[in-house]
Amino acid sequence: MADSTDYLKAYADRYRDMFPVRLVTIAAIVIVGWWVIGWGWATNFAVFQFGLYLVLWSVVQTARARPRAPGAERRFRLSTEAVTLGLASHNALFILAVWHSQPQYLDYLRLLLAGNLMVGALQVHISRRSFAAAVVPPSIAAMVLASNQPQATTGIKVAVGVFVLGIIGASWRQWRSDRQTVELMVALTERSRELQTALGQAETDRAAAERANKAKSRFLAMISHEVRTPLNVILGLTEVLRGRRRPKAEAAVIDDMAEAGGMLLRLLNGALDISKIESGEVDLRLAPVDLGERLDAIARVWRSRVDELGLSLKIELQGAREHFVVMTDEGRVEQVLINYLSNALKLTPAGTIRIRIRALPAADGRIDLDFEVHDQGPGVPEDQRERIFLPFEQLDAGRAAGGAGLGLALCRASVQALGGALGVRAAQPQGAVFWFRFTAERATLSTAAVQPHAPNASVAAPRAPRVLAAEDHAANRKLLALLFQSFGLDLVLVENGREAVEALRATPFDLVLMDVMMPVMDGVEALTAIRAEEAATGRPRTAIQMLTANVFDEDVARYMAAGADGVLRKPIEIAALQAVLSAAPEYADA
């Protein structure tokens, strides 16, 4: 609500705006009066009128300068009412006095009275009393002039009265219009104030959100690094073990470990995408995927958990086997299926959980894929089926089962990125069916893509390429040593960026793998120093790949700007590492 200060300022501004017209009017009357009735009467009119307007100007300026002073509105109202009464009374008495002393100027005085009545009535008035003060004195003077004329008939007197009433009626309407204008100005002022407040709050909220977003990004970067580092060791060692001859039972266990680690990595990648999801930016990594094989792998990994809970898990594939091989983002699909399955396990007290995938050719030659996870839990009320896919929104049953309420929001973002849709419906006789569907391009899996890496897969080179790896984590150094044994490369390991700079200064290398977060000198500092020395000495440029767990977009951009040739993410992807090694000069010539 607007306070009295807004009204005071609005009226003070309107009084100020009327001054030019009123002062010009008074000056014109003074000039004409001096010409018609003499300088004495004109001087009298000028002194009183200009003097009272000077008082009114002072009142208006005080109100505009100090609108919040105690009692400011009351003083302004009373002052303007008093000045208005003084101006109108002086006008009336001046005309009556001139008429009494010089009746020959009656016609001039009548016109002057009518003009003053109209101008006074139509000027700004803060109150009804101010309006009455402006119109009553000249109206009385008009009736006195009409009543004291010997030749004035009753008709003339009535006509004068009607004229005066007409002016009063028109000016009353004008006063009401002025009042509404002021109220509108006050409302606009209040609305503007609210908007300014809202803008200020929005700016404060934006700054707070930016700070929170930066803190979240730092937290996610830390989590990414701390989780990826041990996961890199686990997956790397698993890959080493898969490349060695093992009894069939052990090989199966190692394969399951690799599958579980891969799922964990893909889930981590999905969880770390929450910042991109919030901004509507979700990257897809499309590759040929056998969704039937992926579902079998998920079932194998989760089978022990299903057995622990005393439940059963059934897998149903509907469609030709070749229709399940498509171009899609394996991590996104697994993320949704695993979230659905995890929720089903938490909410199903007993019975069977079914996962069903249908793959049918679409009219455009692509494949329509429809996924369903059937549970036997409490179900989802119809009015809550949209809400549960929002971040941090959970039903009571889901909250009791644990979780942060992000899983289904991540699922929605992933499915939308795939160009599909998702939802939940009631199951019969009880439970819920969580579904998602999308359309994908057909694909073909190459034989090499599905075969595990063998230690003799590398072709011997005439001269083993020299690779320098800077890694501060002891377990990661051990892993690199084991991996490079199978590649037939000459590997030198150092523990920080300074040692890498010194090693490269002493001996040329075909490739450098540079960790980022290291003590003494980090990877970016070392990279910058190496590129600076190459530029200063004319030394040939060495291929440098950043090998790091910090792989957010802004991190990758920073590495490339510092002079990196590429980025290998941890956990190490064997195919990506082989591709980088095959590009090394000596290795490529082998």
- Residues 12-49 pLDDT 10s: 777 787 778 778 877 887 888 788 788 888 888 888 88
pLDDT tens for each residue of 322-365 = 999 999 988 889 888 988 898 888 888 888 999 999 999 998 88
Whether the per-residue pLDDT at 278 is higher than 50: the answer is: yes
Euclidean distance between CA atoms 85 and 367, whole angstroms = 90
pLDDT score for 400:
47
Q: What is the pTM of this model?
A: 0.45
**Sign, CA torsion 131/136/137/139:** positive
pLDDT tens for each residue of 533-557 = 999 998 999 999 998 877 777 788 8
Distances (CA, A) of 333 to 194, 287, 292, 324, 441: 47, 12, 12, 13, 14
Among 103, 119, 54, residue whose Cα is nearest residue 83: 54
Stretch(es) of the chain classified as CATH 3.40.50.2300: 452-589
Average of per-residue pLDDT values in the chain: 78
Residue 349 has phi, psi (to 5 degrees) of -75, -30
Whether the per-residue pLDDT at 222 is higher than 50: the answer is: yes
Homologous superfamily in CATH for domain 452-589: Response regulator (3.40.50.2300)
Whether the per-residue pLDDT at 313 is higher than 60: the answer is: yes
Q: What pLDDT band is residue 559 in, cutting at 50, 70 and 90?
A: very high
Euclidean distance between CA atoms 446 and 394, whole angstroms = 42
The CATH number for 248-448, chosen from 3.30.565.10, 2.60.120.10, 3.90.1010.10, 3.40.640.10, is 3.30.565.10
359 Rama sector, left if φ>0, alpha if ψ -120 to 50, beta otherwise: beta
Residue 572 tokens read as 């190490």
The mean pLDDT value for 41-58 works out to: 86
Measured in whole angstroms, the distance separating CA 460 from the mean position of its chain's CA atoms is: 55
**Sign, CA torsion 502/505/506/507:** positive
The string over 110-146, giving b where at least 16 C-beta atoms fall within 10 Å of a residue's C-beta and e elsewhere, is bebbbebbebbbbbbbbbebbbbbbbebbbebbeebb
**DSSP structure string for 74-142:** HHHHHHHHHHHHHHHHHHHHHHHHHHHH-GGGHHHHHHHHHHHHHHHHHS--SSHHHHHHHHHHHHHHH
Euclidean distance between CA atoms 378 and 512, whole angstroms = 56
Distances (CA, A) of 166 to 114, 172, 178, 365: 12, 10, 18, 85
Euclidean distance between CA atoms 456 and 458, whole angstroms = 6
What's the helix, strand, coil split of the chain in %, to 5? 65, 15, 25
Residue 468 and residue 456 in contact, taking contact as beta carbons nearer than 8 Å: no
Stretch(es) of the chain classified as CATH 3.30.565.10: 248-448
Residue 3 has phi, psi (to 5 degrees) of -100, 180
